[in-house]
Chain A
Amino acid sequence: MKLLLVEDDQALATALGQALRDAEWVVEHAASGQGADFLLNTESYDAVILDLGLPDGDGTRWLSEWREAAIDLPVLILTARERWADKAAGFSAGADDYVTKPFETAEVLFRLRALVRRSHGHAHPVLRVGELAYDTHTHHVTLAGRPIALTAQECRLLGYLMHAAPRVVSRSELAEHVYDRDHEPDSNVIDVQVSRLRRKLGVTRIATLRGQGYRLVEGEAP
């Protein structure tokens, strides 16, 4: 899952970015509304963490602009203001959730996961495709109740496919959401990783649709 962190305080951006990366997020950072605006219009993200006190205007103003431009991804507002009048202004601008500083990293992560899950239309924190289950909080993967050990990268890949299921996910979409902008691999690398996943989960669980991409399949095909 790829996230845009919009925060002008360099120390906070670094520390929070690290905490998010540790939790398997792909994080990109913008220090201003202008920078965020550019990234949102060129890249695709799964969520945005938006600080309200930006050097080039209030965060709610930028958010309103993005919403008007039909940029519809979940936005979590991060701010020092904790009065409900301020929160309501954030929601009016189109925020999806709200965390006040100083925050618990766990809370930010929890809310982010819930936002991303909901934006993909999943209500429950454990995503299921057939016998395959993916816990969005712990990143544990089980197949018919049996735990499956995955590397961090495999986990991110499967996580994205699980969120998107039963939609078909193209290679480029997968690359964009699972890798850092600066480390986007060529499609071969993705193919290799998908085939590793297939070995651990069973070959037929990830179907390749020629020219379109990958899709998780319910149940073992005969």
Chain B
Amino acid sequence: MSRLSRASIATRLLLASLLLILLALPLSGVALAYHFRLSVTEAFDERLDALLKVVLASVAYDPLEQVLQFDSTLGDPRFEQVFSGWYWQVSDGDSQVVTSRSLWDQRLPVTDQRQISVRDERGPRDSRLRVIERDIRLAGIDAPLHVSVALERDELDAEIRRFEQLLAAALLGLGVLLLLALAAQIRWGLAPLRRMRGNLQRVEAGDIERLDTALPAELAQLAGAMNAVLDRDRRLIERSRHTAGNLAHALKTPLSVLRLKVASLPKETREPLLIELARIDAAVRHHLARASAAGDSGWLGSVKVAETLAPLLDGLTRLAQRRGLVLESDIPASLALSMEAQDLQELVGNLLDNALRWAERRVTLRIACDADQHRLQVSDDGPGMSTEQRSEALMRGSRLDERRSGSGLGLSIVADLVALYGGQLALKQASPHGLRVEVTLPATPHAIRDPR
């Protein structure tokens, strides 16, 4: 029962119609066959009755000779052929018998019957006969005469069998056709449901935000209700994300105060406190990142690069101007990257920030795409780095120059992001001098975002 209650709607509908077909078709088959048999037998009997009337009219009794006479030939020659299956017989139940030639030495059994009787009998050579019999009285004979006409049933039975076979084949065909049609109907009828399920999967995967409500009326309501739930979910996530973000941000100011206060303590008390503060800071950052990652669960696959970086470049261009530098960017207008918008901003922001700190006149950002990878280049015309410094800078988390702490951290964030998206980070010598940071990202990155 429980298995049945979990069966799919398609299975249920199919099972129900199969039951209906298995019940209805045989029943109607039996009824049809019965009626057919009845009416065909009736027609057969009417033929027998007609023949009987001819035989009755042709029987006479010769009182002189005291013999029964049959003074006519029935139209059909089959009465003359031996054992043709067409027979008649007139008998008084005793010695007086007249038969068709076809009956030869055989006799039809008789019964005492006032009325016309029609029945099945065994005939010559074990054939199955349909016999009609009527008892009459003729002047001169005491005993009633049994007048019978018999025809072999074979013809009738064959007709009935043929019909029954045809009927069975037709009903079987009809059953199969009905099942196929029902299966198709169920499939067609449930297609909107499947479409909705596909839709829902895409919502879950984050490809789309809402369910399509262009559905049959019953499902459109359901999809509408689900959309309402999705919206509410989104609002809830948004709110808890904001709450988490606000909480984390609110903690940062007191954390800063604590750090400053701790910094003035003697070394032996300062160190353990700084370690604890670092732990709190890490926790705050972690939960902040998670809160913002939760909000980005509907990651829309790819971002328009120029659009995403526009506010960033706007701010950094202003910064460059204030520092007397030129920030040049070359981004194809239509370029899209399979990357989360915030990650892209983080990546480019940190690289440009670094470059702007070192540059003398000019910082260049270039993003281009090849067939299977995207290349992002940030070059400055500053002092650059020695080969040694470059390889040191690429070591994860290392700070190139403790005094320039910000820049070291920025590069390690960049390295993390590039690794996250399965790309590569290279530091090169810009010409004539300066640093060129090259990031190569696969066109279809295999980023695993959670947990950061």
State the A residues within 8 Å of B (CB). 9, 11-12, 15-16, 18-19, 80-81, 83-85, 87-92, 94-96, 99-107, 110-111, 118, 123, 137
- B195-225 vs A, CB cutoff 8 Å, 1 = contact: the mask equals 0000000000000000000000000000000
Among B254, B256, B258, B406: residue with most chain A CB under 10 A: B256
Q: Does B416 contact A (CB under 8 A)?
A: no
Give every chain A residue within 8 A of B250 (Cβ-Cβ). 80
10 residue pairs, one from A and one from B, having the closest CB atoms: A91-B315, A88-B315, A84-B349, A15-B260, A80-B252, A101-B252, A102-B255, A80-B249, A92-B315, A84-B345
Q: Which of B160-168, B231-239, B316-324 contacts A (4 or more CB under 8 A)?
A: B316-324
Closest partner residue, chain A, to B404 (CB atom): A110
Q: Which chain B residues (238-278) contact chain A, with CB distance < 8 Å? A: 248-250, 252-261, 263-264, 277
B312 touches A105 (CB 8 A): no
Secondary structure at chain A's binding surface: helix, strand, loop or mixed?
helix
A118 touches B405 (CB 8 A): no
- B341-363 vs A, CB cutoff 8 Å, 1 = contact: the mask equals 01001101110000000001000
B311 touches A89 (CB 8 A): yes
Q: How far is the CA of A9 from the CA of B255 in the complex (A)?
A: 12
**Distance between A43 CB and nearest chain B CB, rounded to angstroms:** 21
Instruction: Among A11, A85, A96, point to the contact of B257 (Cβ < 8 A).
Output: A11
B255 touches A101 (CB 8 A): yes
Q: Does B281 contact A (CB under 8 A)?
A: yes
Give every chain B residue within 8 A of A81 (Cβ-Cβ). 249
Q: How far is the CA of A90 from the CA of B349 in the complex (A)?
A: 13
Q: Which chain B residues (366-408) contact chain A, with CB distance < 8 Å? A: 403-406
Q: Does B314 contact A (CB under 8 A)?
A: yes
Give every chain B residue within 8 A of A88 (Cβ-Cβ). 311-312, 314-316, 345, 349
Give every chain A residue within 8 A of B249 (Cβ-Cβ). 80-81
Besides A83-B345, A107-B406, A137-B403, 18 other A-B contacts (C-beta < 8 A): A11-B254, A12-B256, A15-B261, A18-B260, A80-B253, A84-B346, A84-B349, A85-B342, A85-B345, A88-B312, A92-B314, A92-B318, A101-B253, A102-B258, A103-B256, A110-B403, A110-B405, A123-B360
**Distance between A219 CB and nearest chain B CB, rounded to angstroms:** 28
21 A-B pairs (CB sep. < 8 Å): A9-B253, A12-B256, A15-B260, A15-B261, A19-B263, A80-B252, A84-B348, A84-B349, A85-B312, A85-B345, A87-B315, A88-B316, A89-B311, A91-B318, A95-B319, A101-B252, A101-B256, A102-B259, A110-B404, A123-B360, A137-B403
Q: How far is the CA of A81 from the CA of B404 in the complex (A)?
A: 21
Q: How many residues of B contact A (CB 8 A)?
A: 38
Q: How far is the CA of A81 from the CA of B315 in the complex (A)?
A: 16
A91 touches B316 (CB 8 A): yes
Give every chain A residue within 8 A of B345 (Cβ-Cβ). 83-85, 88
Give every chain A residue within 8 A of B349 (Cβ-Cβ). 84, 87-88
B322 touches A84 (CB 8 A): no
Q: How far is the CA of A28 from the CA of B263 in the complex (A)?
A: 21
Q: How far is the CA of A99 from the CA of B256 in the complex (A)?
A: 11
Q: How far is the CA of A100 from the CA of B214 in the complex (A)?
A: 48
**Distance between A115 CB and nearest chain B CB, rounded to angstroms:** 10
Give every chain B residue within 8 A of A91 (Cβ-Cβ). 315-316, 318-319
Closest partner residue, chain A, to B322 (CB atom): A96
A105 touches B259 (CB 8 A): yes
B319 touches A104 (CB 8 A): no
A105 touches B260 (CB 8 A): yes
Q: Which chain B residues (6-41) contact chain A, with CB distance < 8 Å? A: none
A94 touches B322 (CB 8 A): yes
Closest partner residue, chain A, to B259 (CB atom): A102
Give every chain A residue within 8 A of B360 (Cβ-Cβ). 123
Give every chain B residue within 8 A of A111 (Cβ-Cβ). 406
Give every chain B residue within 8 A of A12 (Cβ-Cβ). 253-254, 256-257, 260
**Distance between A110 CB and nearest chain B CB, rounded to angstroms:** 6
Give every chain B residue within 8 A of A94 (Cβ-Cβ). 318, 322
Q: How far is the CA of A80 from the CA of B288 in the complex (A)?
A: 11
Q: How far is the CA of A172 from the CA of B445 in the complex (A)?
A: 61
Closest partner residue, chain A, to B312 (CB atom): A88
Give every chain B residue within 8 A of A102 (Cβ-Cβ). 252, 255-256, 258-259, 277, 281
